Amino acid sequence: MSNLLSVRNLSVQIGAGRPVDDVSFEIKPGETFALLGESGCGKSMTALAVMRLLPPAARLIGGKVEYAAADGAARQLMALTEAEMRRMRGGGIGMIFQEPGTSLNPVMSIGRQIEEVLDLHLGLRGEPARRRARELLDAVGIPDAGRCLDEYPFQLSGGMKQRAMIAMTLAGEPELLIADEPTTALDVTIQSQVLDRLKQLQRERNMGMLLITHDLGVVERMADHVGVMYAGQLVEVAPREQFFSSPAHPYSKKLFAALPERAGRGQRLSTIPGRVPPLDTQHVGCRFAPRCSEAFADCAAIAPGWHAQPAGQQVRCHLYDPARMDMRQAENTAPPATAAHETPPPASPLLEVRDLKVHFPIRKGLLQRTVGHVPAVDGISFSLQAGRTLALVGESGCGKTTAGKAILQLVQPTAGSVQLGGVELTGLAGSELQPLRAQAQMVFQDPFASLNPRMRIGAIIAEGMRALGQREGVPERIAELLEQVGLRADMATRYPHEFSGGQRQRIAIARALAVSPKLLICDEPTSALDVSVQAQIVNLLHDLQQTLGLAYLFITHNMAVVDYLADDVAVMYKGRIVEMGNAEQVLGHPQHAYTQTLLAAAFTRMRGAA
């Protein structure tokens, strides 16, 4: 079978660095090639180069990209004019971008944006186009698709915007789909539905797919072949089965080792020391050598070549070079993980929530009269003791985040009781709540959106302390907090945009810890992080809990993290808790049909799970 897409020796330069360096792969019709790796490895830049959508600072310095459409015509994409390439985008080749919030037009309705694609590539207009747009929104799991057609992007949640973006991309019926982190913002059940839909489209249309992701579970479910990328280069290429049964490159092995698993509860997750090198790094030997526990002398001085392994596996590593087999290989001297000391629960709970309700009004008409209510949180009850972690899980829109905000009185509860340390919070005025803010803090889902881009990190961390009247020792406390979350004290003078996603999440945690809280409400703190950074954040939260005796209300849809971290689990569905108990009971023997569905859809590799 001939290739649908052939990429040969593709290289992109930005300044003195090469975020994409001599990358080659091919995709056949109906097959999925997955690019896997940490943020900053060059995965998205590779896709942008294929689509000729590079940022102004980047330029293509080498390579060929050949696209062979179903009509038999082979096109060299780098030789097409911009007008020809514009017709290719969205038609023959579609792309789902990682951040839907910046990809959707904020002044056009969702329906109009999808209809625009249908008009341009399929010639559909009017009622047929609207009908087809609604079918596409239905297909990607958007509830009440008819109403969504007339809504604007700001009216949708992050997950809903991602689904709308996928629907818009599929509207042009592409033969090749480039999907850049297409399910990052989606919970497990919607993730499963979207990926099932993509698989179905592949079968129906023999569509090829370039899948960019850091989620090994998505790769295992979707990919036919896997390419592992590090610092702009592919370091391993293999069929899916071979890759998951025997990952070869040390970097691939460390990605698997960073996954949380039930067998490791109470132990530290394996992490990859250091970080992906900056774009302007001048590489000499193996690019992974500074972070590799198996590196030896030649690794730092000589760039490795490709070495073939059984079953079609290729690996770029000196460890597989027969000429260097007798070289001394460094042993992994990482200290063995030790079991964590469990804090005995106190007699009375730190947080007591009883029959909490948050109902949002529905207003219509010129006078915006209230005609009904949406029960976002509809009578939930639970308790949380100091030093323990309660995971609140469920699909997007089930009320998890609203519940977390209502507990902190960031959203006004409609009814119910919230007691923190025996003090009733509901009904208190702002001045009465302020001294209690020090006891409970929130780590928001998107650290970049929750950090003021105009303030330096030190000022952001100090803001809470100053608001509560602390004036003495603030610089010293800032330095201590930064060191506590694994950052350097001299980083306090930097701005949020100068940090990676994982570092920004650490800053958000430092800000929350600044006022010495007893309770942290963590809203999807690892949702957009790749597995190595996720492991660092989970380890950090675990260490802080053991050191400070913190209680966590952990809002997430990542069942692998729940399985590893949580003591107790509460499952939410349409504003209500439908099942609750200790983690072993809920995850190992789920009773409610919805919990069973969630766990069945959570295909992330929960190695060691029952």
Sole residue written with tokens 């023999």: 206
pLDDT for residue 326: 58
Q: How far is CA 302 from the centre of its chain?
A: 34
Report the pLDDT averaged over residues 109-116. Answer: 94
Report the pLDDT averaged over residues 519-539. Answer: 81
Residue 411, Cβ neighbours under 10 Å: how many? 17
Secondary structure (3-state) at 306:
strand
Residues 39 and 533 sit within 8 Å (Cβ to Cβ): yes
Reported as a pLDDT band with limits 50, 70 and 90, residue 262 is: low
Q: Highest mean pLDDT: which of 54-63, 159-168, 329-338, 534-543?
A: 54-63
pLDDT for residue 334: 43
Phi, psi of 571 (to 5 degrees): -100, 125
Domain end, chosen from 157, 172, 187, is at 172
57 and 122 both lie in a single domain: no
Q: Which residues contact 529 (CB under 8 A, 6 or more apart)?
A: 39, 214, 501, 502, 505, 537
168 and 42 both lie in a single domain: no
Phi, psi of 575 (to 5 degrees): 85, -5
Q: Does 460 map to a domain? A: no
Burial class (CB in 10 A: 0-12, 13-18, 19+), 489: middle
Residues 530 and 216 sit within 8 Å (Cβ to Cβ): no
Phi, psi of 472 (to 5 degrees): -90, 140
Burial class (CB in 10 A: 0-12, 13-18, 19+), 397: middle
CA distance 285 to 287: 6
**pLDDT tens readout for residues 395-436:** 877 889 899 999 999 999 999 999 998 899 998 887 888 888
pLDDT for residue 340: 43
β-strand pairing of 519-523 with 568-573: unpaired
**pLDDT reading at 514 higher than 50:** yes
| CATH code of residue 357 | 3.40.50.300
Q: Does 567 map to a domain? A: yes
Report the pLDDT averaged over residues 555-583. Answer: 89
Q: Does 528 map to a domain? A: yes
Sole residue written with tokens 């280069």: 233
Secondary structure (3-state) at 51:
helix
136 and 182 both lie in a single domain: no
Query: In what helix (H) or strand (E) does residue 63 lie, and over which residues does it extend?
Result: strand 58-68
Q: Which amino acid is at 127?
A: E
Which range has the worst mean pLDDT, 93-97, 320-324, 490-494?
320-324
pLDDT for residue 314: 95
Q: Does 526 map to a domain? A: yes
Report the pLDDT averaged over residues 22-38. Answer: 94
Query: In what helix (H) or strand (E) does residue 157 lie, and over which residues does it extend?
Result: none
* Token output for 479: 């330095």
* Domains contained in the chain, number: 3
CA distance 141 to 163: 7
179 and 88 both lie in a single domain: yes
195 and 252 both lie in a single domain: yes
Residues 599 and 587 sit within 8 Å (Cβ to Cβ): yes
* Token output for 502: 């994982």
Reported as a pLDDT band with limits 50, 70 and 90, residue 329 is: very low
Query: In what helix (H) or strand (E) does residue 424 lie, and over which residues does it extend?
Result: strand 423-424
Q: Does 45 map to a domain? A: yes
Reported as a pLDDT band with limits 50, 70 and 90, residue 15 is: confident
pLDDT for residue 185: 61
Q: Does 107 map to a domain? A: yes
**pLDDT reading at 134 higher than 50:** yes
Residues 407 and 351 sit within 8 Å (Cβ to Cβ): yes
Residues 260 and 564 sit within 8 Å (Cβ to Cβ): yes
CA angle 553, 528, 117 (to 5 degrees): 130
**pLDDT tens readout for residues 334-349:** 444 444 444 444 457 8
Report the pLDDT averaged over residues 28-52. Answer: 92
Range of the domain at 548: 351-447+517-601
**pLDDT reading at 218 higher than 50:** yes
Report the pLDDT averaged over residues 235-252. Answer: 94
- Higher pLDDT among residues 73 and 577, named by residue: 577
What is the torsion angle, in degrees rounded to the nearest 10, for the CA atoms of residue 69, residue 70, residue 71 and residue 77? 0
Report the pLDDT averaged over residues 601-608. Answer: 50
Q: Does 129 map to a domain? A: yes
Closest CA to 255 of 244, 265, 266: 244
CA distance 413 to 359: 8
73 and 25 both lie in a single domain: yes
- Measuring CA to CA, how many Å separate 219 from each of 149, 228, 408, 508? 31, 11, 38, 30
Report the pLDDT averaged over residues 253-274. Answer: 77
51 and 128 both lie in a single domain: no
210 and 231 both lie in a single domain: yes
**294: which DSSP letter?**
T
- Higher pLDDT among residues 358 and 447, named by residue: 358
Q: Does 317 map to a domain? A: no
CA distance 155 to 161: 9
β-strand pairing of 389-393 with 369-384: unpaired
Which range has the worst mean pLDDT, 73-87, 212-226, 297-311, 322-336?
322-336
pLDDT for residue 538: 85
**pLDDT tens readout for residues 497-510:** 888 777 888 898 89
Q: CA 58, 63, 69, 75 torsion: positive or negative?
A: positive
CA distance 304 to 325: 13
Q: Which residues contact 398 (CB under 8 A, 6 or more apart)?
A: 572, 573, 574, 575
pTM of the model: 0.70
244 and 140 both lie in a single domain: no
**pLDDT reading at 608 higher than 70:** no
CA distance 475 to 468: 16
Domain end, chosen from 143, 172, 201, is at 172
Reported as a pLDDT band with limits 50, 70 and 90, residue 204 is: confident
Residue 147, Cβ neighbours under 10 Å: how many? 13
Report the pLDDT averaged over residues 228-233. Answer: 94
Q: Which amino acid is at 138?
A: D
232 and 379 both lie in a single domain: no
522 and 442 both lie in a single domain: yes
Residues 380 and 577 sit within 8 Å (Cβ to Cβ): yes
* Token output for 387: 């030093």
- Measuring CA to CA, how many Å separate 572 from each of 65, 455, 595? 47, 36, 9
82 and 111 both lie in a single domain: no
Report the pLDDT averaged over residues 448-466. Answer: 89
- Higher pLDDT among residues 78 and 273, named by residue: 78
Closest CA to 259 of 529, 561, 565, 557: 561
- Measuring CA to CA, how many Å separate 66 from each of 26, 69, 75, 85, 233? 9, 10, 6, 13, 20
**pLDDT tens readout for residues 60-93:** 999 999 998 877 778 899 999 998 898 888 888 9
Closest CA to 387 of 437, 341, 434: 341
Domain end, chosen from 125, 142, 172, is at 172
pLDDT for residue 343: 44
Which range has the worst mean pLDDT, 392-406, 520-534, 575-589?
520-534
